[in-house]
Structure 1
């Protein structure tokens, strides 16, 4: 179900202990931003709305009733209910109200639903969609982590109304700490759409619809429907024997940690055959979930924030960790086992 327009880019993100600071910069750089900054101009609709809203100031907790965006996108499934958090937080500025409706989250992934409501009489029907000049993945001021993300505008059931919806997708690699219970900050602002090509400046012109910026601060308290195991079982991967020391399964992701002395220096024999041209350390391990009725759920896609240690520098610990994400939220209570490189581990 994940939109292929941005999923492929996120799949390339990996975590390597050997260059943590460089990776953090690379992750931030991967966030989708326009390549050039086109000339800025205001739309007539936006100017009229600003005049109508003339003296209104920002307010928190505005009474705007909107449906949960994430639930609407993924469906009201067991997996959604096991990982979802209702937000319903709104901020109004000069007649424009942004609402964080709901989110699904675990320690590696956040899907956040956003609805933007314009002043009455404003029609947001630009056929090529709307964008934010100011945006980023949700941040956690008290954590050290790497992250990458993107957003997409969802299909509008009524293009003639004054509301548009967005889904923010963010992937995280937190260093030894959980996102649960942490202060989360979300900033979005300066809504615009692209007009025609400007041949003189060799760029697309941006037409700004709203110059406001919204910042939310809330505590991320997602449900703990998460299976955590320390199986310590042997496994053969990357042509060596190692140990599966940790398995974490949530409705949104699967995490597997494999370590061993034999993994030190593995970049000396693992080929550079990953889709992004890097060493294929974490892309090709077979991971499959099995439900209680025996149905197999292959977990080979959405690998962002997988990574390794000791691949180039054998003085570091040798490990790989594998992250996989399903197309739709998993019903964790219906899972029976997981197979990692042919090694089956019970989950129930």
Structure 2
């Protein structure tokens, strides 16, 4: 086989599903339309050989990992499988390989799995960190307002020469009451530099040792993750911060519940009542199934993306599902039959 093709195929990273789809497609193309035509027989043979070459060349290629799998509890895995999508984008520079593996998201949070494969001869057991990173739309405008790249839990050491990370991003812009969904959008993802962390006993901190200053830019990444976010209009009075406000609506997703409250005790709350009534993002939430069993309960406050505008009298509170030990949970929205926000019950089924 031509050496050029072998070298290029050796760099291919296909998931098992994509590999099989490619081979099936080649087999389809090899089927003759009419019998006993020499040219078509030759074409069939060539395509069959090509299928074998692809299978052989990609057999040793790294199968894409579900890096995000361990971000959620074991019981959450079926929901994760239903709502994740594979990205399979990889680039190598200076011997360091960065791969975007999988992706899941809702209207306020986005998670992307990232793998870092160290060069041959480099110790993968050292702590490595990325430098700067960003997500932008093709026109250069920013797509998120915050986040970070952290080791994927639970961290039990490298997988051979590959380390696993989770890139989590807050989608909701500060200046908007309603977040912009990234589902189905095309974005550019940039990861800048890799550092090794060396402990410095004299300064009692880690020193960052630059390993490569390469900038990995993944252009035109399509965020085709499935979503099941459903908004329910409520428009009922709700007890809130020592007074009464209006519970406008809730949005239920596999990741949690968004609560929208306005008017009444939301207005100018901070200035007069914070010490007495607590933070404006405090809001009790309970989620039930059809049999009345509690699927999730949080008597306190919301998480990332929550925001309160006391002058406008609006509050948006995101309750991200998690256990008492802060382990993340995914809940199938089809199992959610009722939601209770403070004193208001909202039947969904």
**Global fold match (TM > 0.5):** yes
Tell me, in whole angstroms, the C-alpha distance in 2 between the residues paired with 1:145 and 1:269. 35
* Residue matched to 1:325: 320
Q: Unaligned 5+ residue runs, structure 2? A: 1-6, 14-60, 322-327
Query: 2:157, 2:271 → 1: CA distance?
Result: 56
**Does the 8 A contact of 2:124 with 2:162 survive in 1?**
yes
Counterpart among 207, 215, 219 of residue 209 in structure 2? 207
Q: Deviations over 1:174-222 (max 9, x none)?
A: 43432222223322232112223275x8864322333322122312222
Instruction: Give the TM-score of the pair, scaled to structure 1.
Output: 0.70
Tell me, in whole angstroms, the C-alpha distance in 2 between the residues paired with 1:286 and 1:72: 27
Which structure has more helix as a fraction of its residues? 2
Match of 1:194 in 2: 197
Q: Give, in whole Å, the separation in 1 of the partners of 2:122 and 2:142.
A: 41
Q: In the superposition, relative to structure 1, how do residues 156 and 235 fare at CA in structure 2: closer, same or farther (>3 Å)?
A: closer
Distance 2:142 2:132 in 1: 22
Conservation of the 8 A alpha-carbon contact between 2:242 and 2:265: no
Residue 263 of structure 1 corresponds to which residue in structure 2? Answer: 266
Partner of 2:109: 109
2 CA distance for matches of 1:156 and 1:202? 23
RMSD between aligned residues: 3.0
Residues 301 and 60 of structure 1: is their aligned pair in 2 closer, same or farther, counting only changes over 3 Å? farther
Is the 2:246–2:264 Cα contact (8 Å) retained in structure 1? no
For 1:224, the equivalent position in structure 2 comes to: 227
Alignment partners' CA distance in 2, 1:145 and 1:118:
29
Contact 2:94 2:212 in 1 (8 A): no
CA contact (8 A) 2:105 2:227 kept: no
Is the Cα contact below 8 Å between 1:306 and 1:323 reproduced in 2?
Answer: yes
| 1:86 alignment partner in structure 2 | 86
Structure exhibiting the larger radius of gyration computed from Cα positions:
2
**Residue correspondences, number:** 278
Q: 1-side partners of 2:348 and 2:83: how far apart? A: 18
CA gap 1:290/1:102 in 2 versus in 1, 3 angstroms? same
Q: Determine which structure has greater relative contact order: mean sequence separation of CA pairs < 8 Å that are 6+ residues apart, divided by chain length.
A: 1
Q: Counterpart of 1:239?
A: 242
CA–CA distance in 2 between the matches of 1:270 and 1:82?
44
Matches within 5 A, 1:145-164: 147-154=145-152, 159=158, 161-164=160-163
Worse-superposed segment, 333-342 or 171-180: 171-180
